[in-house]
Amino acid sequence: MKIVSKNFGIKNNHQIDVAIKNGIYSSLNIVFKKEPKEIVEEVDLSGLRGKGGGGGATGRKWKMLKGEKKVYLCVNADESEPGTCKDRQILEKDPHLLIEGIILSSYAIGANESYIYIRGEYTTQAKILQQAINESYQKGFLGKNIQNSNFNLELTLHRGAGAYICGEKSALLESIEGKRGHPRLKPKRPEPDYLFGEDAIVNNVETIATVPFIIKNGYQAYREFGTACSPGTLLFAISGHINNAGVYEVPFAYPMKKYIEEFGGGVWKNRKLKAVIPGGSSTKILKAEDIEDLKLDYDSMREAGTSLGTGGMIVIDESTCMVKTLKNLLKFYHEESCGQCTPCREGSGWAYKLVKKIYEDNGKLKDLELLKDNSFIMNGKTICVFGVAVADVIDGFLSKFEDEFIEYIRKNNVS
């Protein structure tokens, strides 16, 4: 079943006239006849969860708004997680679906100003999206008195400057405000985010692009797919040592091994599967035997000791050196730490240096203990979850492949 990707194969679907012929913006005839709170309730009943990695309940987040302040909707298109490239498909192939979702969501939460924050490297996607926004204004889907509904909406495309950390929602909001992209301290209790001192809701691209289906078909239609706790579908990306790298939409709870074999075409070069990083590079790695009966949903992944993340699977074959793989990942995270928190700033750099030392045949067995200690110091002791993510990467590799690290060290060292 395709909910978000159903129009991906249509030629020129990024152009508004083609998009309209294929049903885009038709939900506006439904939504403006309802009260905003009805839309929020429909989304809440659908069980729609955030598809950017966190998996939080979308309707519950929207219900935190009390209507006491001005509200902004901010769409997170800062897709920077290695192994993740699903939102890019929406931006390129069906940008008007996203804009339709933004209109519906903005109406529901009472936002008259919305932002799309797109990563700086997405130059082609930014051009396509800006053209789609311009067309939407020309057709009267954005701006003043949309479809004679008395609802106004201004939509701004805000380009980032290539900082991975701005994928974290509070750093994204800081960046929109013109500040450095540093994550903010989190409140003790759940409450809306804020932008320019007003309430703000931040949702991922695919999350917002799913809203039109729910409004057109009802929450029960969305719940026909997936599971009770993970309803609907997700655009899963698959890359690495695979025959058919790409992005394919399937219902939650789809068998992971079946996905790799049927959509990914199996491991390349007739090699055996060694490991899979299941949801973007910051999720804990799994061995081949771990995925035999594993399902692609939030609960199943948690029970397996990892997380679904963004659904960006990275396939690793039997020829891969796990020491080198961890070194490469830690180099990325060390470079992308914003530096605000000492455990993350220093810990990510120290972890990279330790694994680099091991990879260059200068490591000692005690370095593995230092690496574990470093991971413990980073985990849960920083403002945002960046440090936690790095710790998870380290813990995942050492819990699954410590024997390989020990063997690597012992090749040239006795310690």
Which neighbouring-strand residues pair with 75?
116, 203
Q: What is the mean pLDDT of residues 220-241?
A: 97
pLDDT digits (tens, 9 = 90+) for 20-62: 999 999 999 999 999 999 999 999 999 999 999 989 999 999 9
Angle, vertex CA 92, rays to CA 88 and CA 95, nearest 5: 100
Question: What average pLDDT does the segment 12-18 reach?
Answer: 98
Beta-carbon count within 10 A of 36 CB? 16
72-84: average pLDDT: 96
pLDDT at position 218 over 80: yes
Tokens found for residue 289: 């035997």
CATH 3.40.50.11540 range(s) for the chain read: 16-223
Q: Which amino acid is at 318?
A: E
CATH top class, domain 322-412: mainly alpha
This prediction has a pTM of 0.96
Dist CA 95 CA 22 (whole Å): 13
Return the SS3 of 239.
strand
pLDDT tens readout for residues 372-405: 999 999 998 999 999 999 999 999 999 999 999 9
Determine the Cα–Cα distance for residues 364 and 274; give it in Å rounded to an integer. 25
Architecture in CATH of 16-223: 3-Layer(aba) Sandwich (3.40)
Residue 68 has pLDDT above 90, yes or no: no
The helix/strand count (H/E) of the chain reads as 16, 12
Residue ranges of the chain assigned to CATH 3.10.20.600: 233-317
Burial class (CB in 10 A: 0-12, 13-18, 19+), 197: exposed
Q: Please write the tens of the pLDDT for every residue from 287-321.
A: 999 999 999 999 999 999 999 999 999 999 999 99
> What's the pLDDT at 415?
46
CATH 1.20.1440.230 domain position(s) in the chain:
322-412
Task: List the alpha helices (DSSP H) in 218-341.
Answer: 219-223, 256-262, 298-303, 322-336
Q: Write out pLDDT tens, residues 155-173.
A: 999 999 999 999 999 999 9
**For residue 414, what pLDDT is reported?**
53
Tokens of 247: 């992005």
Contacts 24+ apart (CB under 8 A), 352-356: 352/327, 355/323, 355/326, 355/327, 355/330, 356/327, 356/331
- What's the pLDDT tens digit per position in 90-137? 999 999 999 999 999 999 999 999 999 999 999 999 999 999 999 999
Q: What's residue 189's pLDDT?
A: 83
Percent of the chain with pLDDT over 90: 95
CATH architecture classification, 233-317: Roll (3.10)
Confidence grade of residue 67 (pLDDT, cut at 50, 70, 90): confident
